[in-house]
Structure 1
């Protein structure tokens, strides 16, 4: 087995890393006006592709188009993170590889922690989501695929890192992806505009698996802006995500709900208004939460260290995302809605 590339992501200005990836020539200097004229225009029709290209680009800067790139710690807070709304309950390992004959091949090693692989197309679709040990040969509808390995930290960070070390990247065709020529400042402006649109109401993701599953282009754009790389819900396999509205961080708030009975685990993670993780703020998950005597679960926000399952956002306004890993049918049916009952 080829030794996996190991890298630690620390909180640093991502722009300095991305600058190293920019293309220059020795014979000429391209003016800003000329460069701008060559950009692909961002539109409603191609926003999902543009946002996907932005995420691919961010991970290219970290080497994921050359070999598997491991995050050895939980994601950076704020915009130092390479992807919007990263989950705070697993470690990430990422591959960007060329599909061969319309398929992507990979393996998941045997481990004693949660380990899943999601295959994200160039259109932003999580076309495949698989959990558990095995060799996989799966179709993908675009020329390149972005593979997200999510490794659970339920047994501690060292156990998660040990599981990452078992992942092989021998089956991938690397070094052929080219960063797409969008103006990524413009893409970021679209992201900010679309994210702001959803802050006044509870937002639930659908994440169609393939391009032909899109029934509402604007909804799909909102999903990519708020949580690129999410999975299409599948009972007992893939995940369902939903966001709360923005909440007042100066108040003690809580939500109580029936056990979601996710096959793997459930988590509740707070985010800032731009949908990034918050400095010094931790998530709560079913791996560790306290259950009430009636078997319901209460999660508190800014209610003090003694409050049950308290999440302290340091007085900052926030929204939170529910993640159901291996979602149950009752959650898919809308019978559990913690994001709608917080008060």
Structure 2
């Protein structure tokens, strides 16, 4: 496993250098032949950017295991990555419109999300079993999320149990967008949401999109998120941007997610912050009345403190197996922030 870890780390560094150097990867050197990015196809373009980034890490040839928590900043292959699970990713071809995959028996949380080429997480399944799911595009992006609640070694052991015998690799071709243009669209859309609380709906299919602009905002801020489903899939919410030079807290009723809940800070571009970690219901301290307080930049002695190392931030709350009371708006950490 040391070789696999080394290869993945090298691939991530190489990807980061490539993105920094030129901001684009394409199958055609003639920029006049790029697919133009529009409001109508932005979700496909942003999805292609994520497929392309992970293909550079080998996910088009085999399942790519991320053996540690994601890189901080834009070295990460995907915006707003989880800080509470390990990732394993496969880009596969659908067979007669279906993808079949397995989740092994493990003693930690493990889920698979099936994301089509339009950015829709058509399916989110949790727990051991063999699953056959229909997809509306020719290719699918499988995201295995493996829980770290028992530590990284336990998560890595669970990753090693994943089998891929039923997956067809190696036929996806990176789409011919100008990825500098895609990044510009993403930055513009992300900036639009920074002054407000933002909740994700993540419609499961193209026919479920009722507000195209909202859908584009969701892809820009948190591509690859799940469509909320009580006690199964996840709900995500973002706070407004907050200042790092003052102590701030949020207190809320215990969310009682079926699996766990986490709070993670992100920088202005929606990437993880160097040196800043999440807190989760797997280890947070509750108040005497059963509620939860999460502190930001309030010092090591503050309850459930997250230090953003002097960087302004927003935070995302993830409810894994969201409780109905959260879906009903009765638990809203992102709306209850106070300055101390």
TM-score by length of 2: 0.94
Give the secondary-structure state (helix, strand or coil) at the position aligned to 2:274: coil
1:12 paired to 2:22: no
Consecutive unaligned residues of structure 2, counting only runs of 5 or more, are none
Tell me the alpha carbon deviations over residues 79-113 of structure 1, each in whole angstroms, 9 at most, x when there is no partner.
00000000100000000000001100000000000
Q: 2:188 matched to which residue of 1?
A: 193
User: How many pairs were matched up?
Assistant: 332
Partner SS state of residue 266, structure 1 = strand
Query: CA offsets, 1:119-171, max 9 Å, x none?
Result: 00000000000000000011011000000000000000000000000001111
Where structure 1 has 5 or more consecutive residues not aligned to the other structure, the ranges are: none
Q: CA deviation at 1:22?
A: 5.4
Counterpart residue number, 2:139 = 144
Distance 2:25 2:193 in 1: 33
Change (3 A) 1:103 1:199: same
Determine if the alignment matches structure 1 residue 124 to structure 2 residue 119: yes
**1:1-343 alignment runs, 5 A limit:** 7-9=7-9, 12=13, 14-16=15-17, 30=29, 35-343=30-338
Q: CA deviation at 1:24?
A: 7.8
What SS is found at the alignment partner of 1:12? helix
Tell me the alpha carbon deviations over residues 236-285 of structure 1, each in whole angstroms, 9 at most, x when there is no partner: 00000000000010000000000000000000000000000000000000
Please state how far the C-alpha of 1:23 moved relative to its aligned partner: 6.7
| Structural RMSD (CA) | 1.8
| Shift of residue 17, structure 1, vs aligned partner | 5.2
What is the distance in 2 between the residues matched to 1:80 and 1:24?
Answer: 22
**SS of aligned partner of 1:161:** helix
**Cα pair 1:17 1:61 within 8 Å, conserved:** no
- Report the 3-state secondary structure (helix = DSSP H, G, I; strand = E; otherwise coil) of the residue aligned with 1:96: strand
For residues 201 and 15 of structure 2, the distance between their equivalents in structure 1, rounded to whole angstroms, comes to: 29
Q: Distance in 2 between matches of 1:321 and 1:79?
A: 17
- Paired with 2:219 and 2:9, the residues of 1 have a C-alpha distance of 23
Question: Structure 1's 102 and 266: CA in aligned 2 closer, same or farther, altered over 3 A?
Answer: same
Q: Report Cα offsets for 1:205-249 as digits up to 9, x if no partner.
A: 000000000000000000000000000000000000000000010
Say if 2:278 and 2:306, in contact at 8 Å, map to a contact too: yes
Instruction: Judge which range, 8-17 or 168-177, deviates more.
Output: 8-17
